[in-house]
Amino acid sequence: MSKRLLLLKPIPTSKDAGLLALRVLVAATMLLRHGLEKFSHFSAMAAHFPNPLHIGATPSLMFATLADGICSVLLILGLATRWAALIEIVNLFVAWSLVLHFAFFGRTGGEGELVVLYLGAMVALFLMGPGKYSLDGPSGK
């Protein structure tokens, strides 16, 4: 009995439950920390938002709002999951590479670590899909 408990055998394993937890926890954090901020302070942020792709600060902010706000909601629901994750991947990679200049270690690397964690979660969701506990998950399986 103690070996069974030590190996966590009583806890059922499920890829789908893990994908649900990953989707909801990561996307909810992204939405609450970054998406809602962009929705509620859009006009104030537009004046000083980074423009790494040279398309203008407002279009850059609009894309970041799409990724951090709308795509986060889609990921939580498990709707258009792979597309939402792909948009998040593009947004996060642009931020990490062109804004943070691949910062990861050292004094200025604190933000880079978080971006890489978000990026890893989005890549995993893009590759694995939403799982069965989602609105666009495989039905009948």
pLDDT tens string 43-98:
999 999 999 999 999 999 999 999 999 999 999 999 999 999 999 999 999 999 99
Calpha distance 3→67 (Å, rounded) = 45
Mean pLDDT for all residues in the chain: 90
Phi, psi at 71, each rounded to 5°: -65, -30
Please check whether residue 133 is in contact with residue 17, taking contact to mean a CB–CB distance below 8 angstroms.
yes
Phi, psi at 32, each rounded to 5°: -70, -35
pLDDT level of residue 140 (50, 70, 90 thresholds): very low
Helices (H), the chain: 2-6, 15-30, 36-40, 42-46, 57-65, 72-77, 81-94, 110-128
